[in-house]
Amino acid sequence: MTSLSKRYGSERVALKDINLAFGKGLFGLLGPNGAGKSTLMQIMATVMPPTGGTVEYGSYRIGKNDHEIRRILGYLPQRLGLYDKLTGEEFLNYIALLKGMKDSAARRIKVLEMLERVNLQDKARRKIKTYSGGMKQRIGIAQALIGDPQVMIVDEPTAGLDPEERIRFRDLLEELGLERTILISTHIVADIETSCNALAVMNKGEMVYQGTIPQLLKKV
Ligand code: ADP
Ligand code: ADP
């Protein structure tokens, strides 16, 4: 991405001249609340346009090739939305339908595969509102994985998880990061310390550091 900026209204500057590049593997986006992480991720996920600058995925550019980008992208927003009354299976079936999978038999296979991938096959027929925090995040990953994205954007995935769920969730992301690019935002260093290949640190809408974790720790 190049010189990305975002203002909310005429006053609040949420992003200032952000430049960022990343390849395959896990990439951490670290920063306190209000740093601009969610804003950056929403722009990258084509949910919201930037005020200035651009984001490119290969030859695709946001604002111009959004349709194509959504096909190669999986996004887990900070709050998954209002699907609590659906079962895990119904929810994933619905997302598969939204992604354009018209064949119901193919959808069933895909949904089962995703449920197994995040180890929720036993909870397929339970309503999402009965899931634990960790289970909700895993169904969130499952929906982001439908369509086999090359890039996943995961916003504060460990918020509200207990320590054990945190570790399991991190292991899942590490496994998924072997095959694709995953961008994870967090305000907790421990979440990304051992698993991310590289990280960027944001504060007040600015990118204050980019590099590896050992390099960062040497600096402080
Ligand atoms: P983070 O994800 O790092 O906590 P955000 O991107 O959510 O940061 O927020 C960055 C700044 O932009 C904050 O000051 C926040 O209050 C502001 N902000 C975020 N979303 C909106 C919005 N929809 N309207 C106005 N201000 C917003
Ligand atoms: P975060 O942890 O990312 O800062 P928040 O709880 O601040 O999340 O924001 C939740 C939602 O509210 C987001 O969609 C964000 O864009 C929006 N939001 C955040 N700050 C403001 C604001 N000052 N005015 C309007 N919407 C906001």
Over residues 163-190, the pLDDT tens digits come to 888 888 889 899 999 999 999 999 988 8
Atom of ligand 1 nearest to the CA of 15: 10
Residue 24's nearest CA partner among 170, 196, 194 is 196
Q: Looking at the predicted structure, is the pLDDT value of residue 121 above 80?
A: yes
Q: Which residue has the tokens 């292991």?
A: 171
Q: Residue 72: which residues within 8 A CB-CB, separation 6 or more?
A: 57, 60, 149, 150, 151
> Predicted confidence band at 216 (pLDDT cuts at 50, 70, 90)?
confident
Q: Looking at the predicted structure, is the pLDDT value of residue 10 above 90?
A: no
Question: What mean pLDDT do residues 133-143 have?
Answer: 91
Length of the chain: 220
Atom of ligand 2 nearest to the CA of 12: 23
Q: Any bridge partners for residue 127, and if so which?
A: 87
Residue type, 2: T
Question: What mean pLDDT do residues 1-26 have?
Answer: 92
Q: What is the distance in angstroms between the CA of the first residue and the CA of the last residue of the chain?
A: 27
Q: Any bridge partners for residue 57, and if so which?
A: 60
Q: How far is the CA of 12 from the centre of ligand 1 (A)?
A: 9
Which helix (H) or strand (E) is 86 found in, with range? none
pLDDT attached to residue 204: 96
Question: What mean pLDDT do residues 24-35 have?
Answer: 94
Q: How far is the CA of 156 from the centre of ligand 1 (A)?
A: 14
pLDDT attached to residue 16: 97
Return d(Cα 207, Cα 21) in angstroms, integer.
12
Question: What mean pLDDT do residues 60-78 have?
Answer: 93
Backbone angles phi, psi at 179, to 5 degrees: -105, -10
Atom of ligand 2 nearest to the CA of 34: 4
Q: How far is the CA of 32 from the centre of ligand 2 (A)?
A: 13
Q: Is 46 helix (H, G, I), strand (E, B) or coil?
A: coil
CA–CA distances in Å: residue 55 to residues 9, 195, 202: 21, 25, 17
Please state, for a pLDDT cut of 70, what percent of the chain lies above it.
99
User: What's the predicted TM-score (pTM) here?
Assistant: 0.88
Q: Looking at the predicted structure, is the pLDDT value of residue 19 above 90?
A: yes
Residue type, 212: T
Q: Which two tokens stand for residue 133?
A: 């925090």
C-beta 78 within 6 A of ligand 2:
yes
Q: How far is the CA of 163 from the centre of ligand 1 (A)?
A: 27
Atom of ligand 2 nearest to the CA of 37: 3
pLDDT attached to residue 214: 82
Q: Which two tokens stand for residue 165?
A: 């769920």
CA–CA distances in Å: residue 194 to residues 47, 122, 169, 213: 30, 30, 13, 9
Half-sphere exposure of 156 (CA within 13 A, CB side): 20
Return d(Cα 52, Cα 182) in angstroms, integer.
24
pLDDT attached to residue 54: 95
